[in-house]
Amino acid sequence: MEASSEQKTHPFDLQMDSGTALKLVKHGATLLLLDVPQYTLVGIDTQMFSVGPLFKGIKMIPPGPHFVYYSSADRNGNEFSPVVGFFLDACPSEVIVRRWHQQEERLVKLPEEEEEKYHEAVKRFEFDNQLGPYALNHFGTWKQISNYITKSTIERIEPIGREITVVCESGLVEQVPKTVMEKALAEQLRNSKFSTSAEKSQRRGCYYTSIPRVVKNKGISGQELTSLNIDKTQLLETILVKEYGGAEDLLLGELQFAFIAFLMGQSLEAFFQWKALVSLFFSCSEAPFCTRTQLFIKKDSINTSAVQKGASVLLDDSWLSKDSFLHRLCKDFFSLIKEASVVDGDLLSWTYKLKELLETTLGWEFQDSAVDGIYAENDDEFAPVVELLDDASFSEASAA
């Protein structure tokens, strides 16, 4: 597959001298992928590639957390299986080796002795010409949506076996309340030829924190209970202390983990967890730390042929339409802010900026909004709080 003619430069074109490139190769991690069939879609972070006949993996991977995902293709590269993905925390100069299992159509680990031989071969640059470099110009975008994910975040949440895939989730999302569209999607998953029951696969799914939809407390009046369910600040604070030891970064790490597993890994379970957390945040009138979360992405951020071909369901206009749950949540959140007796000043200014961004970027309208008429006097005092993936979020190339 050739890069789009609209691209001015190939994403693998690195504008650097040989000395700098060698330093990056030695310091960065290497993902060695053996025997991956041609046309398979392979992604890392916000980059996705269509495999060519000489492809052996990716080099120059910056140390830190990453998400690797792939989708096998038929022999003509026209039909693709559901995405399989896993998180990893790469160390400097680390070599990560996986081999394609033809029957199972997935990447598997090698025996330790065999893996060590490939480690040494990579160190001797024997595969260097067959490794595509990590597109470092996209690393900033990845950091924006993963900066709270740590090694401990991955180890705490990832499923047994580490693989995240929607084909094993039909039994995991049965008890989750859904919209009409989400019920249809779950039914489609259950009837898919790729679907595998949780019992048959012996996989539990990710270890996400349980987020109650409704606050229940027998020791208070009905009016107080209604109030707690309208403004869920107390529920958020309780979860933060009980499940995360009061560490906001751990909660934000789980939010990012779920968002990435949903967006790149196409995990339905991850979508419901991300939705539950976002819904909780937007049901609170006193949660200023939520201004550091990233909840929205640009409609045209995913527009490359590789993504469209094999992963077109990542996001379409329906996710950002006026009928989506995000639009409803924002509308309810603005009403909550309007009705609150006391609102944190930073949160109020953040709310104004959020409303303005949604109206100008997505074309959403909020009639009689709580923040109509509010003027943020010093915009520069507030850091960007809704982090948008830029138009080059997903890059595509043929790994020849």
Name the nearest CA neighbour of 309 among 7, 144, 113, 80: 80
Angle between helices 248-263 and 139-146 (to 10 degrees): 130
Which two three-digit tokens encode residue 375?
Answer: 């003027």
CA 76 to each of CA 1, 37, 40, 104, 360: distance values in angstroms, whole numbers, following the listed order: 12, 11, 10, 19, 42
3 state SS of 117: helix
pLDDT for the residue numbered 188: 57
Radius of gyration of the chain (CA): 22
What residue ranges of the chain are covered by domains with CATH 2.60.34.20?
A: 18-140
Burial of 144 (0-12, 13-18, 19+ CB in 10 A): middle
CA angle at residue 136 from 132 to 140, to 5 degrees? 145
pLDDT for the residue numbered 134: 94
User: How far apart (Å, rounded) are the C-alpha atoms in residues 318 and 362?
Assistant: 12
Would residue 207 be called left, alpha or beta, if left means φ above 0 and alpha means ψ between -120 and 50 degrees?
A: beta
Provide the whole-model pTM: 0.76
pLDDT for the residue numbered 323: 66
What residue ranges of the chain are covered by domains with CATH 1.25.40.550?
A: 164-189+206-362
pLDDT for the residue numbered 184: 60
pLDDT for the residue numbered 286: 67
Bridge partners of 95, per DSSP, are 30
Angle between helices 233-244 and 248-263 (to 10 degrees): 90
CA 273 to each of CA 259, 276, 278, 323, 398: distance values in angstroms, whole numbers, following the listed order: 8, 5, 9, 20, 33
pLDDT for the residue numbered 297: 40
3 state SS of 139: helix
User: How far apart (Å, rounded) are the C-alpha atoms in residues 291 and 282?
Assistant: 11
- pLDDT tens, N- to C-terminus, the chain (400 residues): 333 333 333 444 456 777 888 888 889 999 999 999 999 999 999 998 889 999 999 999 999 999 999 999 888 777 888 899 999 999 999 999 999 999 888 999 999 999 999 999 999 999 999 999 999 988 998 998 899 999 999 999 999 999 998 877 766 555 555 565 556 655 655 555 454 544 444 557 899 999 988 777 777 776 676 777 777 888 888 899 999 998 989 999 999 999 999 989 988 889 889 989 988 888 877 654 554 444 444 333 333 344 333 333 345 555 666 667 777 777 777 777 777 666 667 677 777 777 777 777 777 777 655 455 444 443 433 333 233 333 333 444 445 5
CATH classification of 18-140 is 3.40.50.460, yes or no?
A: no
CATH architecture of 164-189+206-362: Alpha Horseshoe (1.25)
Classify each residue of 124-133 as buried b or exposed e, where b means 16 or more C-beta atoms within 10 Å of its C-beta.
eeebeebbbb
Classify each residue of 334-365 as buried b or exposed e, where b means 16 or more C-beta atoms within 10 Å of its C-beta.
bebbeebeebbeebbbbbbbbbebbeeebebe
